[in-house]
Amino acid sequence: MNQNAYEARVEQLEAEGITRSDAQGIADAEQINAERDHLANRFESMEEAKARAEELTEYTGEQHVAYQTGYVIAPFMAARMPQVGDDVSMAFNGDAYPCGEIVRISPTYSTITTSHGVRFTRVGPNAWKRGGKRGAFSLITGTIRKWNPEF
């Protein structure tokens, strides 16, 4: 949930007659639960993952997708798709560089463009890279500036 969505949720709760302080507490709890749910969204079948992705999409109003991970322990997962307005960075080999916020997403989620003009191409069900499959930098959520100390 980005800052705009958070404020909108707080205002929605206030309109229902809840005090601002309580509304912020509820919005905080919802955000924490959503982040915790990310870890709980691992399933044994694609049908379970699809059902959960649909529930999350309906509940949050943000697009979620089910996909096969390729891992034995958690073969299927439901994940939130990037949204316009999300703060993002690009990462490679332990380094991360902020690249603004998402300003454009193609209808099929094949291309994501940031406010800094960086363009990412979809290379997997829930993965985007700058420069396509051979590109080095991956799209990650959040504004992160971190360098690998080994270099």
74 φψ region: left (φ > 0), alpha (ψ -120 to 50), beta (else): beta
Instruction: Give the per-residue pLDDT at 37.
Output: 56
Compute the mean pLDDT over every residue in the chain, rounded to the nearest whole number: 86
pLDDT digits (tens, 9 = 90+) for 11-53: 999 999 999 899 988 888 888 776 655 556 678 889 999 999 9
Residue 16 has a pLDDT of 92
What pLDDT digit, counting tens, does each position of 60-84 carry? 898 999 988 877 777 898 888 999 9
Angstrom distance (rounded) from CA 56 to CA 39 = 13
Exposure of 35 in the CB half-sphere (CA atoms within 13 A): 8
Confidence of residue 2 (pLDDT cuts 50, 70, 90): confident
Task: Compute the distance between CA of residue 122 and CA of residue 50 in angstroms, rounded to an integer.
Answer: 20
pTM summary value: 0.65
Residue-range domain boundaries for the chain = 3-80, 87-141
Residue 72 confidence (pLDDT) = 73
